[in-house]
Amino acid sequence: MKTRNFDKDAQSWDDSPLRTGLAMDVATAVRKQIGFKSDMDALDFGCGTGLLAFHILPHVRSVTGVDASKGMLDVFLSKARQQKADNVKAYHMDLSLGESLTGEYHLIVSSMTFHHVKDIRMLLDQCYKVLKPGGQIAIADLDEEGGRFHDSNDGIFHFGFDREKLCQLFLDAGFTDVCATDAAHIHKPDAERRDRVFSVFLITGRRQQ
């Protein structure tokens, strides 16, 4: 099976109740663990069509979406225009091409994107650099799932994560107050079409003042 074409899938991405429900669950988990403030500038790494970002938007000053798929960003920006949200920005960035995060933010969020990133430590170093002192990070992704979650594992670098090992990478990158909690559960058929429940964690941390 070919690697998923996110540009092609973008127009129908939000049609999935699984994805929309997960975004709501992750936003709720972030709000519970970190909270939102009206003077926060937030970055959503791997924002896709903005399912998570637009849950956060009403509670912060601004949201910037970053994604490697131009098709996803087109939908993201179309939503912003429809909502007349002038506090939303987006830019295209592909880590595989050696590109880097830019800007300064009080909060970085990401949902179901880290398993697509080969070098997690490199990404966490970038996140640390663009966070303002005292800024916080909240990353949601799959617990270890043995390669059963996706129909095709092309373009997947991690079959979920061991929470303890991933937390250590956060600490190695300089983050403090690192904590892992449950964020959501996904009920879906696995790659062999058997019904399964996949667990999603939220790891949070803070850049030192």
Average pLDDT over residues 55-61: 96
Indicate whether 60 belongs to any domain: yes
In a domain, 158, yes or no: yes
**Domain membership flag for residue 1:** no
pLDDT reported for residue 8: 67
**Is 75 within a domain?**
yes
Identify which has the larger pLDDT, 108 or 150.
108
Specify the pTM.
0.92
Total structural domains within the chain:
1
DSSP secondary structure letters along 100-124: ---S-EEEEEEES-GGG-S-HHHHH
Decide if pLDDT at 1 tops 50.
Answer: no
Residue 95 located in a structural domain: yes
What's the average model confidence in pLDDT over 89-98? Answer: 93
pLDDT in tens, 123-180: 999 999 999 999 999 999 999 998 888 878 888 899 999 999 999 999 999 999 999 9
In the prediction, which pLDDT does 194 show?
86
Range of 168's domain? 6-206
Nearest to 56 by CA among 75, 78, 76: 76
User: Has residue 127 been placed in a domain?
Assistant: yes
pLDDT digits (tens, 9 = 90+) for 9-44: 677 666 678 899 999 999 999 999 998 999 999 999
Could you report the per-residue pLDDT of 80-90, keeping only the tens digit for each? 999 999 999 99
Say whether pLDDT at 189 is over 70. yes
Given a cut of 80, whether residue 4 has pLDDT beyond it is: no
- R_g of the chain, CA atoms, integer Å: 16
Please, what is the angle between helix 163-172 and helix 120-130, to 10°?
Answer: 50
**202 falls within a domain:** yes
Pick from 75, 130, 120, 79: nearest CA to 100: 130
CA distance 197 to 31: 24
| Residue 198 phi, psi (nearest 5) | -105, 135
pLDDT value at 114 more than 80: yes
Contact 66, 43 (CB under 8 A): yes
Give the CATH number of the domain where residue 133 resides.
Answer: 3.40.50.150
